[in-house]
Structure 1
Amino acid sequence: MKFIPAMAAISTLLCATPLAGAASLHSHWEQFKAHRAFHHLSADGQRAFQDIMNARDILQTGGKTEAAIPALYDAQKRLAAAEKADKKFQAAENDLHPAPQHPVAANHQPVVGQTDWLPVGGEFIVNETLAPEKKTAVASANAQLKSGNTDQAAETMKVVGEDTDFILALAPITPVQGAVYRATVFTEGHHPQEAVDALNQALDSVIFVSENAVESQAPATAAPAPAAATK
Structure 2
Amino acid sequence: MKKFAFLPASLLMLGTVIGAAHATPSAGRAVNRDFAKLSIDGSRAFDDIAMARSALANNDIAGAQKLLVDANNALTRAKSDNRVFMKAEAQLVPAKKAPKGAPAPSAAPGTQPVAWLPVDGEYIVTEDLEPTSPKGAAVTSANTSLNKGKPGQAAQTLQVAGVDVDFVLAIAPLDASASDVYRATNLLTGKDVKNADNALQDAQNSIRFVSEDMVGTPAGQGAGKKAAH
Regarding TM over 0.5, the answer is yes
**Equivalents in 1 of 2:110, 2:2: separation in Å?**
21
* Contact kept in structure 2, 1:118 and 1:171, CA below 8 Å: yes
Gaps of 5+ in 1: 12-32, 142-152, 213-231
* Contact kept in structure 2, 1:51 and 1:71, CA below 8 Å: yes
Choose from 78, 88, 95 the match for 1:92.
88
Matches within 5 A, 1:137-176: 163-176=164-177
Measured at CA, do residues 34 and 195 of structure 1 come closer, stay the same or move farther in structure 2, by a change above 3 Å?
A: closer
* Contact kept in structure 2, 1:91 and 1:116, CA below 8 Å: yes
Gaps of 5+ in 2: 10-29, 214-229
Partner SS for 1:99? coil
TM-score, normalised to structure 1, is: 0.63
Overall identity of the aligned pairs, in %: 35
Whether 1:83 aligns to 2:79 is yes
Measured at CA, do residues 192 and 34 of structure 1 come closer, stay the same or move farther in structure 2, by a change above 3 Å?
A: closer
Q: Where do 4+ consecutive residues of structure 1 move more than 3 Å?
A: 7-11, 106-112, 127-141, 156-163
Q: Deviations over 1:26-49 (max 9, x none)?
A: xxxxxxx89722222112111110
Matches within 5 A, 1:108-123: 108-109=106-107, 110-123=109-122
Deviation at 1:125, TM superposition (A): 1.7
Indicate the structure with greater helix content.
1
Matches within 5 A, 1:11-50: 36-50=33-47
Q: Deviations over 1:162-198 (max 9, x none)?
A: 9421111111101000000000000111110010010
**Equivalents in 2 of 1:139, 1:170: separation in Å?**
31
Q: Which amino acid aligns with 2:103?
A: A
* Contact kept in structure 1, 2:141 and 2:157, CA below 8 Å: no
Match of 1:51 in 2: 48
Deviation at 1:96, TM superposition (A): 0.7
* Contact kept in structure 2, 1:66 and 1:187, CA below 8 Å: no
Deviation at 1:117, TM superposition (A): 0.7
**Equivalents in 1 of 2:36, 2:142: separation in Å?**
18
Partner SS for 2:119? strand
Length, aligned pairs only: 179
Q: Which amino acid aligns with 1:105?
A: P
Match of 2:13 in 1: none
**Equivalents in 2 of 1:207, 1:57: separation in Å?**
22
